[in-house]
Chain A
Amino acid sequence: MLAGRAGEAAAMCMRIVTGVARASGAERLQPVVSAHADGCLYHGVAGLDFTERLVELGGKVAVRTTLNVGSLDLLHPGLVRADPTLATNGRRLMDAHVALGCEQTWSCAPYQSGHRPARGAHVAWAESNAITFVNSVLGARSDRYGDFLDIAAAITGRVPYAGLHRDQARRATMVLDFSAVPERVLAHDAAWPAIGAFLGARAGTRVAALTGLPGDLADGGVTEDRLKALGATAASSGGVALFHVVGVTPEAPTLDAVLVPGAPTVSVRAGDLRAARDQLSTATGDRLDAVSLGTPHFSLAEFAALADELLTGPVFCPSVDVYVSTSRGVLALAEQAGYLAPVLASGARILTDTCTYVTPVLSDHVSVAMTNSGKWAWYAPANLGVDTVLGSLRECVASARAGKVVRDDRLWAD
């Protein structure tokens, strides 16, 4: 491939893959069965030059490759307030990825839009929440890949055999024990991003085993969406790319199965989770201008839960802009299932193909935004210049209806 027999694009991509392999000390390359590419979000001319060069050189992906969010909502073009450069170059970058043969999923949750690698499969996924989900919840194997290496891996079908592709790197070196946290607290959906924030702060980039947490990955999506929220927050606040929930996630039927002997245990209390939630809430007072749901992209199960909340009760207060970000694939399913109509009737706006924290969507007047996403709450203050409030889905709905922040803090008591 390096010699160019598979084409000039594959040769360039192989130089990049082997360059990273040399730096990471990998002895060999590992074939992958799929890729998820994150380079379709515009960050400047260099990414566009690189991707269009691959297209000019005749590059095509060698394995199934899904695409992360872009800078534009191609289905709802009025929602993103892009300047002319972002509108033009953002679109060219998205088109170049399609020309390379990638699937137009445009989602940070490809695992809920039809692309679920099998347990043990080696994949090359980018986007920190997707990496954490594919490793932890699906038990497939991806190291942390960033822009460029993702598409280089897709075109070559190879990654360095390093990091989380290796058995020994997947074992937990610490335990977080949640058995002292009351069930009532864990039944509150805002507990799960709070667990993620606590995990990210304690683990950094290490692998942790979580004990004392309820869950069943065959329960129709509740546990899966909780772990998605947990992982997305831990990946943003810490750098976590793999965690195990003992008795729940596929590689951890027992603690012994995943733990490095002698690893330390940290006992977690409800107050720790409340403190983690409060760190993700920078706003004080009850002012509210916007609500953002769907980071990572809303699943069908999350649409069902939102529709259920909205079946009875008033529409959203006109002074609060409510956004739901999702993939075009899930949006079509939500419409068929009848979940979309009550969401639209309440006054929410649906955003696909992109996300409210990576591209200009929120109005200039928004200074306080509420979200059920720990990841959104982590990035929004710096990216968008807004203050945040983290709450459960039910608290977000109640607040959007009331036109001010409404949370029930009694739920967090020890």
Chain B
Amino acid sequence: MTDSGQIESGQIESGQIELTGRSLHPGRADAPLIQLEQPLSFWGGVDAAGTVVEARHPQYGIRLAGAVVAMPTGRGSSSSTAVLAELIRAGTAPAGLLLAERDTILVTGALVAAEIYGRWMPIVELSDSDFSRLATGRAVALTAGLAPSPVQVRVDSCTDTPERIRS
């Protein structure tokens, strides 16, 4: 997974934005976006189906499985590594993570899932200002290479994203 993907040149339709992030862990994602309003600990905060079960979280009950999840930071327990790896194994993990702050706990879980199951769930760090331009309900396409290479993150207003990235 060393290729960083090439963005097809062409007209940016209205509602599309392109952001440049930094890879924390390689992988590809093309999925609807869920933006978490507050940090979340995967340990104790997400159940086996990939649903937020932390009672204090404002988005309690939202399902993260298969979505690109943007979260400010990964607060809390260091056992979140094991919980994330287990979600990736079970197929109930997010399709990718966008973080405003680097988080080695989540990276460790993703690295182990890649080693053991060959599944690569990308993790990308965005600047605070880019992070604030994201919104739930949009669609995200990205291909992250080896950390810390730059990553083009395409955010679209439409939830049905055609293939925009060729490797």
Which residues of chain A have a CB within 8 Å of any CB of chain B? Answer: 12, 15-16, 19-20, 22-25, 38-39, 41, 43-47, 49-50, 53, 126-128, 144-149, 160, 162, 239, 379, 382-383
The reply on B83 being an interface residue by CB < 8 A is: yes
Q: Is B25 among interface residues, defined by CB-CB distance under 8 A?
A: yes
Minimum CB–CB distance for A143 against chain B, Å: 8
B82 is contacted by which of A23, A46, A383 (Cβ under 8 Å)? A46
Known pairs A49-B116, A149-B104, A239-B75 / 15 extra A-B pairs, C-beta < 8 Å:
A15-B111, A20-B108, A22-B148, A23-B123, A23-B148, A43-B43, A44-B85, A46-B82, A46-B86, A47-B85, A144-B78, A147-B108, A160-B104, A382-B44, A382-B54
Contacts of B105 in A (CB 8 A): 144, 146
Residues from chain B with a CB closer than 8 A to the CB of A41 are: 79
CB neighbours (8 Å) of A127 from chain B are 78
Task: Chain A residues near B146: list those with CB within 8 A.
Answer: 22
> When chains A and B are docked, how far (Å) is the Cα of A38 from the Cα of B82?
10
Q: Tell whether, in the assembled complex, residue B89 and residue A45 are in contact, meaning their CB atoms are under 8 Å apart.
A: yes
Q: Are B113 and A19 in contact (CB under 8 A)?
A: no
A53 to B118, CA, bound (A): 14
* A128 and B78 contact, CB distance less than 8 A: yes
- Residues of chain A within 8 A (CB-CB) of B115 are 12, 15-16, 50
With beta carbons under 8 angstroms apart, the residue of B75, B86, B117, B123 that contacts A43 is: B86
Contact (Cβ within 8 A) A23 B104: yes
Whether, in the assembled complex, B63 has its beta carbon less than 8 Å from a beta carbon of chain A, the answer is: no
Does B107 lie at the interface of the complex (its beta carbon under 8 Å from any beta carbon of A)? yes
On chain A, the residues within 8 Å of B48 by CB distance are 44
Q: How far is the CB of A37 from chain B (nearest CB, A)?
A: 11
A contacts with B: majority SS: helix
Cα separation A147 to B77 with both chains bound (whole Å):
10
A146: contacting residue among B55, B75, B81, CB under 8 A: B81
Contact B44 A43 (CB under 8 A): no
Residue of A45, A47, A379 with highest tally of chain B CB at under 10 A: A47
Name A15's closest neighbour in chain B (CB-CB): B115
Interface residues of B in 66-109 (CB under 8 A from A): 75-83, 85-86, 88-90, 102, 104-105, 107-109
A-chain residues with CB within 8 Å of residue B148 when the two chains form the complex = 22-23, 25
Given A19-B147, A46-B113, are A148 and B89 neighbors across the interface (CB < 8 Å)? no
Nearest Cβ on chain A to B92's Cβ, whole angstroms: 11
> A41 to B77, alpha carbons, bound, how many Å?
13
- Given the complex, which residues of A lie within 8 Å of B76, measured CB to CB? 239
Residues of A within 8 A of B80 (CB): 146
Instruction: From known contacts A46-B89, A239-B75, A379-B44, infer whether A24 and B111 are also in contact, taking CB-CB under 8 Å.
Output: no
Contact, CB under 8 Å: A19 / B78: no
Q: Which residues of B contact A25 (CB under 8 A)?
A: 102, 148
CA A288 to CA B55, docked complex, whole Å: 24
Main secondary structure of the interface of B (DSSP, over half): helix
Most buried by B among A12, A44, A147, A382: A147
Chain A residues in 8 Å Cβ range of B54:
382
At the interface, yes or no: B112 with Cβ under 8 Å from chain A? yes
B95-154 interface with A by 8 A CB criterion: 102, 104-105, 107-109, 111-113, 115-117, 123, 146-148
Shortest A53–chain B CB gap in Å is 6
Q: How large is the interface on B (under 10, 10 to 19, 20 to 34, 35 or more residues)?
A: 35 or more
Give the shortest distance, in Å, between A145 (CB) and chain B (any CB): 7
Q: Which residue of B lies closest to A204 (CB)?
A: B75
A-B residue pairs, 6 tightest by C-beta: A146-B78, A44-B86, A46-B85, A43-B82, A22-B147, A146-B81
Expressed in whole angstroms, the Cα–Cα distance for A61 and B115 within the complex equals 19
Determine if B82 and A44 form an interchain contact, defined as CB atoms under 8 angstroms apart.
Answer: yes
* Interchain nearest-CB distance for B66 vs A (Å): 18
Q: Is the CB of A43 within 8 A of B111?
A: no
List 6 A–B pairs whose Cβ atoms lie within 8 Å, in order of A's numbering.
A23-B25, A45-B90, A46-B86, A49-B116, A146-B77, A239-B75
A198: shortest Cβ distance to chain B, in Å?
A: 18
Asked whether B65 is an interface residue with its Cβ less than 8 Å from the other chain, the reply is: no
- A15-B111, A23-B147, A146-B80 known; A383-B44 Cβ under 8 A: yes
Q: Are B85 and A50 in contact (CB under 8 A)?
A: yes
**Contact yes or no, A19 B86, CB < 8 A:** no
Contact present for A44 and B83 (CB under 8 Å): yes
* A186, B44: Cα distance in complex, Å: 32
**Contact partners of B113 in chain A: CB under 8 A:** 46
B108–A149 contact, CB under 8 A? yes
Q: Measured between alpha carbons, how far is A22 from B144 in the docked complex, in Å?
A: 13
| Chain B residues whose CB sits within 8 angstroms of the CB of A46 once the complex forms | 82, 85-86, 88-89, 112-113, 116-117
Q: Does B40 contact A (CB under 8 A)?
A: no
A258 to chain B, nearest CB (A): 24
Closest A residue to B88 by beta carbon equals A46
CB neighbours of B64 from chain A (8 A): none
**A25 to B105 Cα, complex, angstroms:** 14
State whether A128 touches B116 (Cβ < 8 A).
no
* Chain A residues within an 8 Å CB radius of B104: 20, 23-24, 144, 146, 149, 160, 162
